[in-house]
Amino acid sequence: MKQSEFLKTVTPFKDKVFRLAKRLLVSTEEAEDATQELYFKLWKNRGKLKEYKSVEAFAMTMTKNYCFDRLKSKQASNLKLVHSNYKENDTSLSRKIELNDSVSLVHKLIENLPEQQKLIIQLRDIEQYEFEEIGKMLNLKPTAIRVSLSRARKTIKEQLIKQHNYGIG
């Protein structure tokens, strides 16, 4: 496989790989390193890529596994939380602050979910993968994914309501 063919194959999902790595590792720098490492591994094994039905699903699985390995390593203790992805125009300052707080809260709630639910929320709601694709990546049945996703969303919803009601009700 030549470089141009390789790039044509792997470039379309580069951002998805980064976002998954960022969701799991939190740190932008760690996510960039993970993405670079993944693409290096894909390049080294470029001759075998045609054997996979979906190179994208394979890359996402590799990203997930690499990130879990990084989190288990000693270096993971220095990861830091950074959330500044949300921007909106034409709203008052107080509304912007409120929206930023809500977005930050949702990110924190996602981070507090069990690993499997966190992954499924990332892949389905953020990356927009189909249930069958997620099933292949995580080696789960689509029904198990739906149940886990439903539980994760319910947990986030309940926590948001609790937070917005200031614990009242």
- Predicted local distance difference test score (pLDDT) of residue 91: 57
pTM over 0.85: no
Q: Which residues contact 97 (CB under 8 A, 6 or more apart)?
A: none
- Predicted local distance difference test score (pLDDT) of residue 159: 87
Q: What is the SS3 string spanning the chain? A: CCHHHHHHHHHHHHHHHHHHHHHHHCCHHHHHHHHHHHHHHHHHCHHHHHHCCCHHHHHHHHHHHHHHHHHHCHHHHHCCCCCCCCCCCCCCHHHHHHHHHHHHHHHHHHHCCCHHHHHHHHHHHHCCCCHHHHHHHHCCCHHHHHHHHHHHHHHHHHHHHHHHCCCCC
Nearest to 60 by CA among 7, 125, 157, 135: 135
Pair of tokens at residue 56: 């994208």
Average pLDDT over residues 45-60: 88
pLDDT, tens digit, for every residue of 69-95? Answer: 888 774 545 544 444 444 444 557 776
- Predicted local distance difference test score (pLDDT) of residue 143: 93
Average pLDDT of every residue of the chain: 82
Of 77 and 26, more confident = 26
Compute the CA torsion angle 39, 43, 44, 48 (nearest 10 deg).
110
| pLDDT of residue 117 exceeding 90 | yes
Stretch among 22-36, 38-52, 97-111, 134-148 having the lowest mean pLDDT: 97-111
Average pLDDT over residues 13-23: 90
pLDDT, tens digit, for every residue of 5-16? Answer: 888 888 899 999
- Predicted local distance difference test score (pLDDT) of residue 52: 87
Domains of the chain, with CATH numbers?
3-73 (1.10.1740.10), 93-164 (1.10.10.10)
- Predicted local distance difference test score (pLDDT) of residue 77: 53
- Predicted local distance difference test score (pLDDT) of residue 38: 92
Pair of tokens at residue 66: 């690499």
